[in-house]
Amino acid sequence: MTQQTQGMIRVVFFASVREALGTTGVEQDAAGITTVTDLIGLLRDRSETWHETLGAENLLVAVNQTMVDPSQKIVAGDEVAFFPPVTGG
Amino acid sequence: MQQKISIQVPAFDVGEECAWLAAESQEVGGIVTFLGVVRDVNEGDRVGSLYLEHYPGMTEKQIAGIIEEAATRWELIAATVIHRIGQLAPGEQIVFVGVATRHRGDAFDACEYIIDFLKTRATFWKKERTPDGERWLETRETDLKTVDDWKQR
């Protein structure tokens, strides 16, 4: 696991979300971010593809490895994961 | 209650896993197991191979949580969940759920509960690779209905 820079939120992506965005994850400055919704807003601004992918209706979110809904508050040092509905078993 | 959770690449030995469950206590009266395998056909198309991805750390936590839920509903002596990841061919093992209890009713119910909730909650994703291309599988409506039905059971 890479060391997280101070004041940053570690964002990770899985499965088709990772493929669409072309990255396993990014670090996002926590400044100005209170909730997951705020984070999604900032990430979606990056490009049309990010806008579409992170705007998907069935997108799931976890904060520090616990499922949450987008109203969840987040702080620097948190790990936020975005992924599609699961298909294990 | 003893539990064993493993997310792993290699295949597992069902016999060995049953032996582990049986050895946990002399109180064990019944062991029920479920073995999930890679189907050769999905939605009418031949499956070339399956690729299993997961969220390291979160997946194990979720499976532990599901086992804990089962343990509050039924008297479990031991439970095992093994899920493979990586590239799998049709016919290969994917997942093993085993439950050891005093009485068989608890074992049947708990085993079913664990696999039903693993399928809709655990952070795994399957990608099918066929000669015609690749596609990520989608959650099945029937699986969602199944966990919903548990509210009545």
pLDDT tens digits for range B19-75: 999 998 899 999 999 999 998 866 667 768 999 999 999 999 999 999 999 999 999
Question: What is the interface size between A and B, counted as CB pairs within 8 Å?
Answer: 66
pLDDT at A1 over 60: no
> Which of chain A's residues have a Cβ under 8 Å away from the Cβ of B121?
86
Question: Do B124 and A89 count as a contact with CB atoms less than 8 A apart?
Answer: yes
DSSP state of A4: P
Determine the distance in angstroms separating the CA of A89 from the nearest CA of chain B, rounded to an integer: 5
Q: What is the per-residue pLDDT for B90?
A: 93
pLDDT in tens, B126-149: 999 888 889 999 988 899 999 999
Instruction: Count the neighbouring beta carbons within 10 Å of the beta carbon of residue A85.
Output: 17
Q: What percent of chain A has pLDDT over 70?
A: 94
Three-state DSSP class for residue B47: coil
> Which of chain B's residues have a Cβ under 8 Å away from the Cβ of A66?
58, 61
Average pLDDT over residues A2-20: 88
Tokens standing for A61? 């979110």
Tokens standing for A46? 């990056």
Q: What is the per-residue pLDDT for B9?
A: 98
DSSP state of B6: E
The beta-carbon contacts of A43-48 under 8 Å, at least 24 apart in sequence, are A43/A11
Question: Do A86 and B57 count as a contact with CB atoms less than 8 A apart?
Answer: no
In chain B, whose CA is at the least distance from the CA of A88?
B124
Q: What is the per-residue pLDDT for B40?
A: 81
pLDDT in tens, B69-107: 999 999 999 999 999 999 999 999 999 999 999 999 999
| pLDDT bucket at A2, cuts 50 / 70 / 90 | low
Q: Which of B57, B124, B138 sits opposite A88 (nearest CB)?
A: B124
Tokens standing for B133? 């291309």
CA atoms within 13 A on the CB side of B29: 10
Q: For chain A, how many residues are written?
A: 89
Mutation pick from B115, B134, B136 vs chain A, by most beta carbons of A within 10 Å, is B136
Determine the distance in angstroms separating the CA of A61 from the nearest CA of chain B, rounded to an integer: 11
Average of per-residue pLDDT values in chain A: 94
Q: What is the per-residue pLDDT for B24?
A: 86
Report the distance separating Cα B28 and Cα B70, nearest Å.
Answer: 17
Determine the distance in angstroms separating the CA of B26 from the nearest CA of chain A, rounded to an integer: 30
Report the distance separating Cα A69 and Cα A44, nearest Å.
Answer: 17
Indicate the pTM of the whole model.
0.92
A25 touches chain B (CB under 8 A): no
Q: What percent of chain A has pLDDT over 90?
A: 93
Q: Which residue has the tokens 């959770």?
A: B5
Q: Which of B36, B95, B123 sits opposite A86 (nearest CB)?
A: B123
A39 touches chain B (CB under 8 A): no
pLDDT at B18 over 70: yes
pLDDT at A3 over 70: no
Who contacts B99 (Cβ-Cβ below 8 Å, separation ≥6)?
B21, B31, B32, B33, B70, B76, B78, B79, B80, B106, B107, B110, B111, B114
Q: What is the per-residue pLDDT for A18?
A: 98
8 A C-beta contact, residue A16 and residue B136: yes
Q: What is the per-residue pLDDT for A5?
A: 62
Average pLDDT over residues A53-72: 97
Q: What is the per-residue pLDDT for A4?
A: 57
> Which of chain A's residues have a Cβ under 8 Å away from the Cβ of B122?
86, 88-89
